[in-house]
Structure 1
Amino acid sequence: DKKQMPTCVPSKCQEPPLLLHDLVLQEITSELGVVKFSCREGYVLQGSPVLRCLPSRHWNDSFPVCKLVLCPKPPDIDYGEPGSVPSVHYGSKVQYSCMDGFLLQGQAEITCNADGEWSPDLPNCVPVECPQPDEILNGIVDVQGLTYLSSVLYTCKPGFELIGNATLICGADGHWLGGMPVCKPVKCRPAREIPNGKSSSYSLHFGQTVTYSCSKGFWLEGQPILTCLETGEWDADTPVCKEIACDPPDAIENGFVEGADYRYGAVIIYSCMPGFQLTGPAIQ
């Protein structure tokens, strides 16, 4: 029988622990027995990247290891904070949020990339701003600021009273809290009725008037026209109607007067003593 001739083959070293060390093998075909190692994305090589298999069937160095890329602690931002994450390795994601009254500008989420850095750029927290508050009819607006928790104060012009909240607060959502007030004319109390007289008025609001007059046989004591003031009071006391009364009649010589009622509408009668004749009207 023909015997098989022996051959010489290159020495073979131990298989690299690719899975155990998360390695990627790149053989160098131009040089026998030499291998090159690399890592998957997100991993970094620790150790020698190139090993040579020696005639002794041992590698000239220990196998490298691929370690997961780590990022630094997520940075803090003014008026905001990063969410908690269990680890900060390649692919980890962090969500940022802002304090009440601040609005997030930019990407809320950042990711740990293969270079060990966070991307994209960090977001910013900017103060929430409310719009310019509305004017109110017959009112005055005092704006203290437009940012979160700033206030606006409403007052009314003279002769008007505020109905609703005088102060509004800029809320965390950028809207004014408290509801818009209104200014309504100051109202005076109803005009008081007077005996033997009457009043006429069409409105009881600031600047309006009430006019008093008396019945026949009475005269008005006091101010006939009252004006409603900005304080809600009338500018004078209510007048009164007093009965008209004449002064006692003058006596006449050689005659006398009959009648003791001197009120409006009453009559007196003049007459003469015997032997005298009345000249002029006897009844007044």
Structure 2
Amino acid sequence: MFEIGKEYNRKRDIHGIYGGQRQGGISTPKNSPNIFIFTSQSGEQHGYKDEYRDDGIFWYTGEGQVGSMKMAAGNKAILEHAQNGKTIHVFEYTRRAHVSYVGSALCLGFHAETRPDRDGNDREVFVFHLDIDSVGAGDKIAEPPPDYGPKDLRALKKKGLDQLRVAVFARAPKDASVSYKREVAYYRSQALKLYVIARSKGICEGCGEKAPFNTKSGPFLECHHVNRLADGGPDHPQNVVALCPNCHRRAHYAIDAVTFNNKLKQVAIEVEKSNA
């Protein structure tokens, strides 16, 4: 239906084919079993801060710009998508009128918190917890360990590069409990971090220099997502590089940050071609 990482014109390529509201962050086509949600940096000024968390879950802010949010319309559609047979598709704005496809998602729940609305007044917002599937057509999906638990997280550190890459694509069965799906998302995110560092062999994938120092667990490098989604980026090896602290700060704050990140995207793509 959509290709992960591909850019689409929102009006022509999405709504022109499947229908749905052409404005706003949540679109619910009447005659399509899909829900389209859109995220961008510009929404932060209205309290819409969407981001990947350390546990591998993406927090997505619901709809409603003024006053407390209601569990209706698009918000209700997200929460009840599974029982209604709807698939959530996540897109991120790349430029005016254009979005990049991130992947499909499962809603694992939500929480409410206080944030400012469009007028600067405090209100209650809904933050949905999404498990985004950014696995591409050529990726091999793996089942998590049958006896998944804390010991498996410890065992990750003993896995080789190929085994870690397999663990990155672990997916819980569709009929698994919400708590189990959360655990697998965390397992997957930890595997990705270990995989990227192991893939680098102690060499910064930005400047090509050795890690500045070693720790008890190995060379000190930091994981950087080259695609935004509030700097968490889709959890896929092709979207993450291992950087020394200097290059990591450059990727975020330097005058040439955009150019540098574009270079890093190509680095990640090329290195993954040899590891896939």
TM bucket (normalised to shorter chain) is under 0.3
Higher strand share: 1
TM-score normalized by structure 2?
0.17
Q: Which has more helix, going by share of residues?
A: 2
Question: TM-score under structure 1 normalisation?
Answer: 0.17
